[in-house]
Amino acid sequence: MTLLIASVSAGTGDELRTRVGQAFSAGADVAELRLDAIESLDDDLVQWAAGLPAGKWIATCRPASEGGASTHSARQRALMLVAIAEGAQGLIDFEFAHWRRSARTRARLADAVGTKPGAPTDSRLILSHHDFTGRPDDPRGILRMIAAEEGVIPKLAWMPESICDNFEALDLVRSSPGPVIVICMGEAGLPSRVLAPKVGAFATYCAPSEDITTAPGQATLAQMTDLYRWRRIGTDTRLFGVIGWPVAHSMSPLLHNAAFDRAGVDGVYLPLPIEPRDRVLEDFLDGCLANDWLDAAGFSVTVPHKSRVVAYLGDRVDELAGRIGAVNTLVVSDGGYRGYNTDYCGALDALTAGLGCERNDLRGTAIDLLGAGGAARAVVAGLREYGCDVTLSNIIPQDAATLAEEFGCNVRAWGERDHGTGSILVNCTSVGMRPVPDETPFPADALGRYEAVFDVVYNPMRTRLLGDAARAGCRVISGVEMFVNQAAEQFRLWTGREPDKGLMRDLVVRGLRKAGE
């Protein structure tokens, strides 16, 4: 069983004891006692450690070169670990580089962690190597050297060049003949942490809370157990995620992991930060297929990769997604990918639900649409597919003209947008989105002519445009509905099941309110 270790740092013994207790109460399997900021051990702290549950704690004291804060020498740090480990039943973690330099240090540490009754493993000594500059030249060789030391657990952590480093990190664990810990640090290293139980790692690390982190990229204990459902991850768990840059703000992991849980799907959905440089996107997608033990099953795609994915897929793109020129959903099938666009589905379903009609009932409906960017392309494609008469207005006239010519729409100058003759107004611009929610793309005194107003912006839920429209007596349709609908369609494509849209909507609303709605 892979252990979930909460790394607990503190400046005083009392603070350390309190935080360790909180970590255990929150569900950590093991607490890592980071002694970096503690000047010296007192008898109370040593006695307290001796009373901790057997095998449920690890003591370490990291120097700055290994990501810690200790200013002590290697000998002084080793003596601190010996003092807290002797007579106790925990593990200690010491840097491999310093272990190799001193036979006396090796002897003292090995003696301090001689196997004790109740320990969960034959070894109670972790020898670690951290590289904050990037991937070591020979990760497998480093693990082999550490493992050659009798009765130890090797640990290797490095700062990845890209998200693709996770393939190697996870495979190193998967192919190891004994217990091992391998982690990619930073935001891009999240898969190596979350998927640790899938490949049989000895342990993985997390932060006890958002304000207590001991390494870059650590997820919190609550995120691991609640958001990513870490304890349910096993060898057969399928990998999903959202590809984008940046992507940490995405609400999609919250929606899809909860939907998987509700439907009983053995899957985990992760944020996958992929920089728009070199071949990182292509290498990641290729790597997921090449490493079939990952069980990659599908991905969401967001800015700035929606168009680039179309080029990557070639003829494996759904027809309408190809016309839109953007893919936001990848499905793994028959050893490859198939690309779809669910943004237009989300928009159509939001619009028809708000109007109380079916898609085919939209035929002939006159719609005034603001914008000509990526969101506009998807919405226009869907509306034209179902026979709507669309008139475009955009602040850059040429963009509107190009989009109109491609999909057979009319054009109205941006300065004359309030002279529209449609029955429905759709905003596909970003005007009114946080962090400037007080702006609106349309004059309030001209809204009364519309039956309904649909704003694809979902943060905030009630934009200024929708507020003005409601006061003018229009039906209002929030971008939240489009966001939930497109996610629901992704869920169907990946699983063949119907998601709990009510659950998804509730999570989005709660998330937006928490963020300041």
In single-letter form, the type of residue at position 252 comes to S
In single-letter form, the type of residue at position 3 comes to L
Q: What is the pLDDT of residue 117?
A: 43
End-to-end CA distance of the chain: 41
The Cα–Cα gap between 295 and 273 comes to 19
Which DSSP string corresponds to 129-197?
EEESSS--S-HHHHHHHHHTSTT-EEEEEE--SSTTHHHHHHHHHHT-SS--EEEE-SGGGHHHHHTHH
- Which CATH code is given to the segment(s) 345-477? 3.40.50.720
Q: What is the pLDDT of residue 127?
A: 96
Of all residues in the chain, the percent with pLDDT exceeding 70 is 97
**pLDDT 10s digits, 349-386:** 999 999 999 999 999 999 999 999 989 999 999 999 99
pLDDT at 128 over 80: yes
**pLDDT 10s digits, 70-95:** 888 888 898 889 888 887 888 999 99
Antiparallel, parallel or unpaired: β 91-95 and 329-333: unpaired
Region 430-439: mean pLDDT is: 89
Q: What is the pLDDT of residue 118?
A: 44
Region 427-436: mean pLDDT is: 91
What's phi and psi for 277, nearest 5 deg?
Answer: -140, 155
The Cα–Cα gap between 264 and 82 comes to 46
Region 163-192: mean pLDDT is: 97
Closest CA to 37 of 5, 94, 77, 6: 77
The Cα–Cα gap between 378 and 53 comes to 57
| Domain range list for the chain | 3-235, 241-341, 345-477
**pLDDT 10s digits, 309-335:** 999 999 999 999 999 999 999 999 999
Helix (H) and strand (E) counts for the chain? 20, 19
**pLDDT 10s digits, 263-320:** 999 999 999 999 998 899 999 999 999 999 999 999 999 989 999 999 999 999 999 9
In single-letter form, the type of residue at position 492 comes to R
3-235 and 241-341 share one fold: no
pLDDT at 212 over 60: yes
Read off the tokens for 65: 């070169």
Q: What is the pLDDT of residue 120?
A: 45
pTM (2 decimals)? 0.92
Say yes or no: domain 241-341 is CATH 3.40.50.10860: yes
Q: What is the pLDDT of residue 420?
A: 92
Q: What band does 119 get if pLDDT is binned at 50, 70 and 90?
A: very low
| Higher pLDDT, residue 44 or 453 | 453
Give the active site residues: 130, 155, 306, 343
Angle at which helix 343-355 crosses helix 374-385, to 10 degrees, equals 60
Closest CA to 38 of 66, 70, 82: 70
Of all residues in the chain, the percent with pLDDT exceeding 90 is 78
Question: What is the CB neighbour count within 10 angstroms for residue 332?
Answer: 22
Antiparallel, parallel or unpaired: β 57-60 and 424-427: unpaired
Angle at which helix 343-355 crosses helix 479-495, to 10 degrees, equals 120
HSE-up of 394 (CA within 13 Å, CB side)?
25
Class of domain 3-235: alpha beta
Q: Are 202 and 1 in contact (CB under 8 A)?
A: no
Tell me the average pLDDT of the chain: 93
Q: What is the pLDDT of residue 374?
A: 87
pLDDT at 56 over 70: yes
Q: Are 402 and 422 in contact (CB under 8 A)?
A: no
Read off the tokens for 203: 């342990």
pLDDT at 504 over 80: yes
